[in-house]
């Protein structure tokens, strides 16, 4: 892995656009043009938009008493709560998301998975890992994420293993390796966000990394890297020399 220890993203590739609490409850048409999702997509491109903004564009409208940004936020919470694509029944259970829009969302998610899924993307360094998980960086709670890889380090799956507290997540190796074994992975990487923005590993981070190293040896899996990341940058155990192959 030959990447430099961290990578800063330009303003063009920012994950989200800062909005005040008042703006989050405003109608889209009442926002300044530079903060409207559709205008931002046209000027900055889709990668520059947050998950919330992308869903706002997809849903287009809300319902009386619930603006589209509120509805998009509730949909994002639902999508974040599970590992798999929700069923139409689950989606339509959201107030304001009728059967028609639920079908649209389900179809969009499934098409994206089939057409542009992670499969085949090769992980050559920490920057490749960051590209796959960076959209989790703006979450207020820590998320521990695993990447299942084949022998060529091509991505088989990317999953949120656990969601923790504001500044701490607790994960057990069995939760990580259960999915890896199910995927018949030959290698893996893990990552978690630090909502504080401070990227240096904690004692808990070092401890879980050591436990994953030992378990990987027993199972014959190659532990590629453990990334700690924020919205615009990352820190790599392997690049820091704290994760080495025997």
pLDDT digit string (tens) for the chain, length 246 residues? 444 344 343 333 333 444 444 445 566 667 777 788 889 899 989 888 888 899 999 998 888 888 898 999 999 989 888 767 889 999 999 998 999 999 999 999 888 877 676 666 789 999 999 988 888 887 778 899 999 999 999 999 888 898 876 556 678 899 999 999 999 999 999 999 988 878 899 999 999 999 999 999 999 999 999 999 988 899 999 999 999 886
Q: Is residue 5 part of a domain?
A: no
Of 87, 116, 145, at which residue does a domain stop? 116
H or E, element range at 117: none
| Res 11: pLDDT | 35
Hey, how many other C-beta atoms are within 10 angstroms of the C-beta on 50? 20
Domain count, the chain: 2
* Residue 173 and residue 110 share a domain: no
* Residue 31 and residue 88 share a domain: yes
* Residue 130 and residue 232 share a domain: yes
Q: Is residue 92 part of a domain?
A: yes
* Residue 213 and residue 140 share a domain: yes
State how far the Cα of 110 lies from the Cα of 140, in Å rounded to an integer: 27
Are the C-beta atoms of 244 and 213 separated by less than 8 Å? no
What is the secondary structure of 122-138 as a DSSP string?
Answer: B--SHHHHHHHHGGGTT
H or E, element range at 223: strand 222-229
Which neighbouring-strand residues pair with 160? 145
Of 60, 91, 116, at which residue does a domain stop? 116
What is the secondary structure of 38-74 as a DSSP string?
Answer: HHHHHHH-GGGS-HHHHHHHHH---BTTB-HHHHHHH
Phi, psi at 89, each rounded to 5°: -60, -45
Of 57, 88, 116, at which residue does a domain stop? 116
CATH of residue 224's domain is 3.40.140.10
State how far the Cα of 38 lies from the Cα of 20, in Å rounded to an integer: 18
Q: Is residue 142 part of a domain?
A: yes
| Res 169: pLDDT | 66
* Residue 162 and residue 193 share a domain: yes
Q: Is residue 1 part of a domain?
A: no
pTM: 0.61
Q: Is residue 76 part of a domain?
A: yes
| Res 37: pLDDT | 87
Q: Is residue 245 part of a domain?
A: no
Q: Is residue 38 part of a domain?
A: yes
| Res 6: pLDDT | 45
* Residue 42 and residue 135 share a domain: no
Range of the domain at 174: 126-236
Q: Is residue 241 part of a domain?
A: no
């Amino acid at each position: 892995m030959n990447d430099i220890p961290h990578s800063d993203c330009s303003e063009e590739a920012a994950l989200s656009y800062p909005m005040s609490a008042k703006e989050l409850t405003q109608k889209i048409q009442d926002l300044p043009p530079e903060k409207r999702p559709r205008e931002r997509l046209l000027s900055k491109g889709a990668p520059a938009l947050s998950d919330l903004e992308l869903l706002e564009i997809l849903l287009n409208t809300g319902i009386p008493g619930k603006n589209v940004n509120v509805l998009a936020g509730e949909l994002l919470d639902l999508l974040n709560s599970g590992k798999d694509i929700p069923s139409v029944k689950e989606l339509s259970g959201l107030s304001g998301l009728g059967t028609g829009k639920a079908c649209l969302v389900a179809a969009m998610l499934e098409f994206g998975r089939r057409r542009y899924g992670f499969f085949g993307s090769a992980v050559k360094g920490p920057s490749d890992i960051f590209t796959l998980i960076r959209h989790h960086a703006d979450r207020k709670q820590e998320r521990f994420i695993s990447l299942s890889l084949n022998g060529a380090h091509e991505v088989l799956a990317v999953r949120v293993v656990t969601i923790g507290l504001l500044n701490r997540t607790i994960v057990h190796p069995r939760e990580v390796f259960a999915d890896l074994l199910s995927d018949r992975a030959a290698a893996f990487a893990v990552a978690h966000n630090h909502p504080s923005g401070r990227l240096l590993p904690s004692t808990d981070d070092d401890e879980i990394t050591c436990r994953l190293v030992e378990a990987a040896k027993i199972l014959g899996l190659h532990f590629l890297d453990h990334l700690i990341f924020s919205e615009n940058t990352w820190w790599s155990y392997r690049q820091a020399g704290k994760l080495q192959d025997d």
